[in-house]
Amino acid sequence: MADPRTGGRAVQQVVFDEATIARRVRELGREVTQAYPDGDLLLIGLLKGSFVFLADLVRAIERPLRVDFLIASSYGTGTTSSGEVRLLYEPSAALAGRHILLVEDIIDSGRTLASLMDRLRSRGPRSLAICALLDKRIAPPLPEVRFTGFVAPPAFLVGYGLDHAEDFRHLPYIADLG
Ligand code: IMP
Ligand code: MG
């Protein structure tokens, strides 16, 4: 597919186009708005992959909220999960008593999220849930996954925040790297 953004490198096919993503993110915004009728809501974006999704999602949520980030590293430059999760940054803000919604780009093996749940829960949030744009449904289902954008094919996907070795995050669509 010819796209000047990819520098001539092969990106096989568009799996979710821009309009489809925008429609679903607006719906997710409505779902999140309705799910939290009261209380303090803190969205925690898991960097780097969630940065585009989070930016669109927060603008589709029509209630007060705050934003923070988590940096966990589970992948090197490869395309398979290492199973190791290092925490490089976690929110300095108090989580106690707040609704925490962890925003993730994609759930693959689920190891990244599973390892984060215990750490976040130990900080005493009022509730703890996950909003994932994509879920490959490979992992055993995590009870905290309350909002899912799309069920993803078992391919390696790039774009809309998702990378391969740091490339392709800026594609406005989600494509199969092939
Ligand atoms: P898990 O721990 O195996 O669930 O991996 C989750 C993390 O791996 C995500 O936050 C992504 O950063 C990365 N990842 C998993 N699958 C893909 C993919 O298809 N494309 C790009 N990144 C992926
Ligand atoms: Mg990644």
Note the pLDDT tens digit of each residue in 41-55.
999 999 999 999 999
What's the whole-number average pLDDT of the chain? 92
12 or 137, which is more confident: 137
For the Cβ of 112 lying below 6 angstroms from any atom of ligand 1, the answer is yes
pLDDT of residue 73: 75
- CB of 75 shorter than 6 A to ligand 1: yes
The b/e string for 140-167 (b: 16+ C-beta within 10 A; e otherwise) is eebebbbbbbbebeeebbbbbbbbbeee
Encode pLDDT of 136-159 as tens digits: 998 888 899 999 999 999 999 999
Instruction: Give the position, in ligand 1's atom list, of the atom nearest the Cα of 83.
Output: 2
**What six digits make up the tokens of 23?**
């429609």
DSSP secondary structure, 85-120, as one string? -EEEE---S--TTSEEEEEEEEESSSHHHHHHHHHH
Active site residue 108: yes
Please report which ligand is nearest the Cα atom of 168: 1
Give the list of residues 6+ apart from residue 87 with CB closer than 8 angstroms, or none: 70, 71, 72, 116, 119
What residue type is 131 in one-letter code?
A: C
Q: Which contiguous run of DSSP H or E holds residue 147?
A: strand 145-151
Name which residue leads in pLDDT, 104 or 85: 104
Q: What is the pLDDT of residues 116-133, one digit of tens each?
A: 998 899 999 999 999 999
Q: Is 161 in the pocket of ligand 1 (CB under 6 A)?
A: no
Say what the pTM is.
Answer: 0.92
**Distance of alpha carbon 47 from the chain centroid:** 8
The ligand minimizing its distance to the Cα of 116 is 1
